[in-house]
Amino acid sequence: MPDVAAYDPLGVAGTWRRRRAKLVVYVLLGLFALYYVVPLAIVVLNSFRSLPDFSRNGLISLPHSFSLEYWSLAWSKFCVGGTCKGIEPFFYNSVAMVVPATIISTAIGSLNGYVLSKWRFTGSEILFGLMTLGVFMPGQMVLLPWARVLGLLGLSNTIAGLVLIHCVQGLSFTTLFCRNYYVNIPDDLIKAARIDGAGFWRIFRKIVLPLSPPILIVTVIWQFTNIWNEFLFAVIFSSGTNQPITAALVALSSGGMAVHQYGIESAAVLMAALPPLLVYLFGGRYFLRGLTQGAIK
Amino acid sequence: MASLTIRNLNKSFGSVAVLKGIDLEVKTGEFVVLVGPSGCGKSTLLAMIAGLESVSSGEIRIGDRVVNGVPPKDRDIAMVFQSYALYPTMTVRANITFGMESRGVPKQARAEALARVAGLLQIESLLGRKPSQLSGGQRQRVAMGRALVRDPALFLFDEPLSNLDAKLRVEMRTEIKKLYQRLNKTTIYVTHDQVEAMTLASRIAVMHQGRLQQFAEPRTVYDRPANMFVAGFMGSPSMNFLPAQIAVSGPAAVVLAESEGQAMRLPLPDKVVASAGEGRRVVLGIRPENLTRYDRGRTEEKPYLGTIQAPVEVVEPTGAETITIVRIGSREVIACFEPDAAPAVGETVTLAVDMAKACLFDPETEMLI
Amino acid sequence: MTFGFVSGAPNQSRPLRERLTAIMPQLVLGPSLLASFIYVFVFSGWTIWISLSNSTILPDYSIAGFHQYVELWSNERWRIAYTNLFLFSSLYVVGTTAIGLFLAILIDQRIRAEALWRTIYLYPLAVSFIVTGTVWRWLLSPSTGIESLVHQLGWTSFKFDWLVNREMAIYTVVITGIWQASGFVMALFLAGLRSVDPDLIKAAQIDGASMPRIYRRIILPAIGPIFVAVLVVLLQSAIKIFDLVIALTGGGPGIATTVPSIYVYDLIFQRGQMAEGAAAAMMILFALSLVLVPYMIWSNWRQRREAGRA
């Protein structure tokens, strides 16, 4: 799949018309870009502004003050739901939840994908379909059962419980992605390896795994982003200082009575959004490539 | 009036020059083949004629009209693509009439043109099908139908047979030739296959690295190639090249460079020696079919027939002839033997060399002398 | 080396190690299969069971019939929820597809700095619905957001109070949802546009078709399957929408923007009506299957047709 258009739709008209048409295209692109960028820009600017600045000039205006203190306040001093330690503990909760869940679900998903694409046995296609069904389950349907399961395992209201939930749910996605990707590895490679005497694990380690980085990047980015940004389970299956950052955010910005500390809240929101954003900025290109190759099926 | 005139055409992509100084004049009704190896610029040239690529410098005229900035639809051309480019979501009928629809041709005229073309190409039964339901040969005919229905001044073909298997390729080649003989439309045909070029063209334009190497009739390109590239590219198996020197003394002849003491003199026409110059180092080009078995009793006495003795290394029977690879000096030389006269490996044969058909090239410039 | 039988003929039964190796694939897949099975079937089964019971705060496993469903459908709030869902889904899907396609076509015009534009349109994908909802809530709230800005600029009679307006609040959810998802749709369409054979375009240009005509009759039909995929993805995310609404409007003002998933949450956790909540969750699943089952059948049929032709 080429990265750039192979033809130039505007390219064969006369030069003057072509330039004018391209100008229109850029203007339109710019206008739309505003729709997407302005909210982010406003929040970023707001995270540096003081409270009096807000009361005088409203939420959407050019900064009339500048201070970096709101960021550090948001991080370590802000009061959220009873404790005044900033969002730092919640941030680390999220990290403690996302990293293991991503790694485990990716690893197992990759193994599953390997089995389902290269070691087919009777009924493996049906089983694959079954596993993929998990992708479509709405959160609300599994809320209560999970609560029971976590209770039985003694994992209620722990990060470990959330890790378990995200692993199991993530398995469906990661298996789906990996299997669709591994299907494209020529079967002849596997046959040659088996003739050479390699077995299940050896083939995985020496042949399949080295070919996996593109899809592993996709799965890791997908899982990281989705689990970090997830809210429903985060808010139900944890409480107090155990909550991941998405739950803390809601508590933070809907604090009813008190005057809204917009500067601090903006900084907090940005810090919550930052990890997936950074992942996307640096890995986005690979993610897109891998995703669109698999999704158009 | 020429149908297509190209004057000093250049094309660069950024700093890479893809076409250099192309001059070409195509007469009305001619079938011109642009042939050359991959990357020689032939497809780019075709795209520029079609108006799909812009001109860096130079002039393209269709008829007597300069068409440099003119969009493709206004150039009165039609094109058949290598991949046929049939619109996959439309029926054959819609594919053929799409262009007329876009140009606003009234319904009645469209139907007439469609019927005419469908009859000509015998695709009436396919009109309701979609491209995915057609075989390779059928798709090719539909693509040609789409081009024919325009009745343009210029037909452009971009390697239309490359996607077909060998047998189908030969069949379709003949069909294209028959169609051309019937309609006599000016055609520019791009291919990398020199056999297609030889069989279809009224004139061949050989291209290499962005330059036009030779533009002449097939016979001329084959017998008197302009340089070593053309000589080696046209003809299969390809021409043999042997370093040699024109004899300084004795009857007009050329002496092969790696004679190893043994005399390997081959006779030449006097006027060739006169124009080339005695003692001059040359490269002797001789085609395999001009190297046959020397048989004192039975070989025709041609003028300028030389003989060489050489050991046989490989024998490749093709059915119609037997390709024999012999060793002359340090080089492998390809010769063509009758199947009945085929030698055995290791045998030393005497070759009859038809020097009337030989070509001499300058070793530095690689041009024909 | 091998833990097999030693006595008599060693060929009588395969050693344990070999047998293990032979079923290694199944062994590896086993735990995941078990987990998925439980997750998909047992959990759904449990929810179905509960939806047929009288559970309130705690589960009660005696079957009481379908009356929870009747309760559900006769409830005003539920009707608001699924009306909102229809409204939101249709606008969301149409709006996101249209904008995503439009942006993809714009970017396909061989412009410069393409990576920059793509990044700008796509980054909302990486942002949590909660963050999106919070930020847009700030922007759209009349007291602090756009309305207040325009007032400050002098146009004091400007009104943009959709967020707190019962009739209009759902449209703020639409605007925000489109903001979040259109980049992703754009990426899918862009990949599709790029996969169209360029020779088709050249042939159409020679045939004399204008660019809009080429898009309409050749390019867009060629990427038909992508439209379907986009539709399915968007519809199912619309049906499940929860986080965005919570952060943007909290379901309000009042219950004006409540959606089925919020209602489920409410029933189970705020009002202690577990069985009715389970019934509502089943309705969500039902809506999802209305979208997914036809898609899977269609996709299967298509695959079989392609394979048959190849």
Cis? peptide before B237, omega within 30° of 0? yes
Mean pLDDT of chain A: 82
* Average pLDDT rounded to a whole number, residues A103-108: 94
Least confident of A161-165, B295-299, C17-21, C110-114: B295-299
Least confident of B35-39, B163-167, B357-361, C301-305: C301-305
Tokens of A35: 């729709």
Q: Do B54 and A11 touch (CB under 8 A)?
A: yes
Does the pLDDT value for residue C72 go beyond 60? yes
The per-residue pLDDT for C8 is: 42
Does the pLDDT value for residue B315 go beyond 50? yes
Report the candidate in B192, B152, B207, B150 with the shortest Cα–Cα distance to residue B28: B152
CB-based contact B37:B229 (threshold 8 Å): no
Tell me if C6 is assigned to some domain: no
The per-residue pLDDT for B261 is: 54
Predicted model pTM:
0.79
Judge if C78 and C21 occupy the same domain. Answer: no
The per-residue pLDDT for A111 is: 92
The per-residue pLDDT for C2 is: 38
Q: Which residues of C touch A143 (CB under 8 A)?
A: 264, 268, 281
Name the residue facing C203 among B51, B81, B89 (closest C-beta): B81
Q: What is the rounded CA–CA span in Å between residue A204 and residue C29? A: 14
Look up residue B305 and give its DSSP letter: E
Does the pLDDT value for residue A224 go beyond 50? yes
Q: What is the rounded CA–CA span in Å between residue C306 and residue C310? A: 6
The number of C-beta contacts closer than 8 angstroms across A and B is 9
Report the candidate in C205, C226, C186, C203 with the shortest Cα–Cα distance to residue C106: C186
Minimum Cα–Cα distance from B69: chain A residue: A14
Q: What is the rounded CA–CA span in Å between residue A137 and residue A134? A: 5
Q: Do C222 and B88 touch (CB under 8 A)?
A: yes
Q: What is the dihedral of CA B220, B226, B229, B232, to 10 degrees?
A: 40
Q: What is the rounded CA–CA span in Å between residue A89 and residue A66? A: 26
Judge if C43 and C97 occupy the same domain. Answer: no
Q: Which residues are paired to B204 by β-bridges?
A: B33, B216
Does the pLDDT value for residue A9 go beyond 60? no
Q: What is the rounded CA–CA span in Å between residue A46 and residue B205? A: 69
Task: Read off the pLDDT of residues B112-135 as tens digits, 9 standing for 90 and up.
Answer: 999 999 998 889 999 999 998 998
Q: What is the rounded CA–CA span in Å between residue C281 and residue C90? A: 21
Q: Which residues of C touch A115 (CB under 8 A)?
A: 25, 28-29
* Average pLDDT rounded to a whole number, residues C57-67: 77
Task: Read off the pLDDT of residues A166-181 as tens digits, 9 standing for 90 and up.
Answer: 999 999 889 988 988 8
Does the pLDDT value for residue C90 go beyond 90? yes
Question: Tell me, what amino acid is at B62?
Answer: I
> Model confidence at B274, in pLDDT bands (50, 70, 90)?
confident
Tell me if C255 is assigned to some domain: yes
Q: What is the rounded CA–CA span in Å between residue C170 and residue C248? A: 10
Judge if C99 and C155 occupy the same domain. Answer: yes
Work out the percent of chain C whose per-residue pLDDT is above 90.
12
Sign of CA dihedral B204, B206, B211, B214: negative
Structural domain total, chain C: 2
Is B114 within 8 Å of chain C by CB? no
The CA-atom distances, in angstroms, between B33 and each of B38, B193, C27, C150 are: 15, 10, 63, 69
C-contacting chains (≥3 CB pairs under 8 Å):
A, B
Residues ≥6 apart with Cβ < 8 Å to A14: B69
CB-based contact C146:C160 (threshold 8 Å): yes
Which residues of chain B from 35 to 74 reach within 8 Å of chain A, CB to CB?
A: 51-52, 54, 69, 71-72
Judge if C256 and C197 occupy the same domain. Answer: yes
The per-residue pLDDT for A163 is: 93
Q: What is the rounded CA–CA span in Å between residue B47 and residue C202? A: 10
Least confident of B224-238, C6-20, C108-122: C6-20
Mean pLDDT of chain B: 87
Judge if C35 and C122 occupy the same domain. Answer: no
Q: Which residues of B touch C310 (CB under 8 A)?
A: none
Least confident of A43-57, B78-92, B145-159, C94-108: A43-57
State which of A202-216, B186-200, C160-174 shows the largest mean pLDDT: B186-200
Judge if C71 and C46 occupy the same domain. Answer: no
Q: What is the rounded CA–CA span in Å between residue B154 and residue C180? A: 51
Least confident of A191-205, B327-341, C141-155: C141-155
The per-residue pLDDT for C236 is: 87
Q: What is the rounded CA–CA span in Å between residue A271 and residue A108? A: 30
Judge if C141 and C255 occupy the same domain. Answer: yes
The per-residue pLDDT for A95 is: 93
Q: Do C309 and B132 touch (CB under 8 A)?
A: yes
The number of angstroms, rounded, from the C-alpha of C47 to the middle of its chain's C-alpha atoms is 21
Cis? peptide before A9, omega within 30° of 0? no
Task: Read off the pLDDT of residues C176-202 as tens digits, 9 standing for 90 and up.
Answer: 999 999 988 998 898 889 888 888 988
Tell me if C5 is assigned to some domain: no
Domain that includes residue C20, residue range: 16-51
Tell me if C61 is assigned to some domain: no
Domain CATH number, residue C71: 1.10.3720.10
Q: Which residue has the tokens 């009436």?
A: B124
Tokens of B69: 């900035």
Task: Read off the pLDDT of residues B142-155 as tens digits, 9 standing for 90 and up.
Answer: 999 999 888 888 99
Name the residue facing B102 among C197, C202, C209 (closest C-beta): C209
Tokens of C253: 């003002």
Reduce the secondary structure of chain B to three states and give it as a string. CEEEEEEEEEEEECCEEEEEEEEEEEECCCEEEEECCCCCCHHHHHHHHHCCCCCCEEEEEECCEECCCCCHHHCCEEEECCCCCCCCCCCHHHHHHHHHHHHCCCHHHHHHHHHHHHHHHCCHHHCCCCHHHCCHHHHHHHHHHHHHCCCCCEEEEECCCCCCCHHHHHHHHHHHHHHHHHHCCCEEEEECCHHHHHHHCCEEEEEECCEEEEEECHHHHHHCCCEHHHHHHCCCCCCEEEEEEECCCCCCEEEECCCCCCCCEEECCHHHHHHHCCCCEEEEEECHHHEEECCCCCCCCCCCEEEEEEEEEEEEECCCCEEEEEEECCEEEEEEECHHHCCCCCCEEEEEEEHHHCEEECCCCCEEC
Cβ neighbourhood burial of B211 (10 Å; 0-12, 13-18, 19+): middle
Q: What is the dihedral of CA B41, B45, B50, B53, to 10 degrees?
A: 70
> Does the domain made of A88-256+266-295 have the CATH classification 1.10.3720.10?
yes
Does the pLDDT value for residue A105 go beyond 90? yes
**Domains of chain B in sequence order:** 2-233 (3.40.50.300), 240-361 (2.40.50.140)
Q: Could you tell me the strand order of the sheet in which B57-62 lies? A: B16-27, B2-13, B57-62, B65-66
Does the pLDDT value for residue B1 go beyond 70? no
- DSSP H/E element including C100: helix C76-107
Judge if C33 and C139 occupy the same domain. Answer: no
Does the pLDDT value for residue A67 go beyond 90? no
CA distance A187 to chain C (A): 16
State which of A235-244, B117-126, C139-148 shows the largest mean pLDDT: B117-126
Tokens of B338: 């009758």
* Average pLDDT rounded to a whole number, residues C295-308: 81
Q: Which residues of A touch C108 (CB under 8 A)?
A: 5, 9
Work out the percent of chain A whose per-residue pLDDT is above 90.
15
Does the pLDDT value for residue A257 go beyond 60? no
Q: Which residues of C touch B85 (CB under 8 A)?
A: 197, 199-200, 202-203
Judge if C72 and C119 occupy the same domain. Answer: yes
Q: Do A269 and C131 touch (CB under 8 A)?
A: yes
Q: Which residues of B touch A14 (CB under 8 A)?
A: 69
Is C208 within 8 Å of chain B by CB? yes
Judge if C103 and C163 occupy the same domain. Answer: yes
Q: What is the rounded CA–CA span in Å between residue C81 and residue B150? A: 59
The per-residue pLDDT for A110 is: 92
Q: What is the rounded CA–CA span in Å between residue B173 and residue C198? A: 25
Is B218 in a helix, a strand, or coil?
helix
Tell me if C8 is assigned to some domain: no
Q: Which residues of C touch B89 (CB under 8 A)?
A: 218, 221-222, 224
Q: What is the rounded CA–CA span in Å between residue B269 and residue B348? A: 28
The per-residue pLDDT for A242 is: 82
Minimum Cα–Cα distance from A118: chain C residue: C25
The per-residue pLDDT for C253 is: 82
Task: Read off the pLDDT of residues C246-281 as tens digits, 9 standing for 90 and up.
Answer: 888 887 788 888 888 888 888 888 888 888 888 888
- DSSP H/E element including B284: strand B281-286
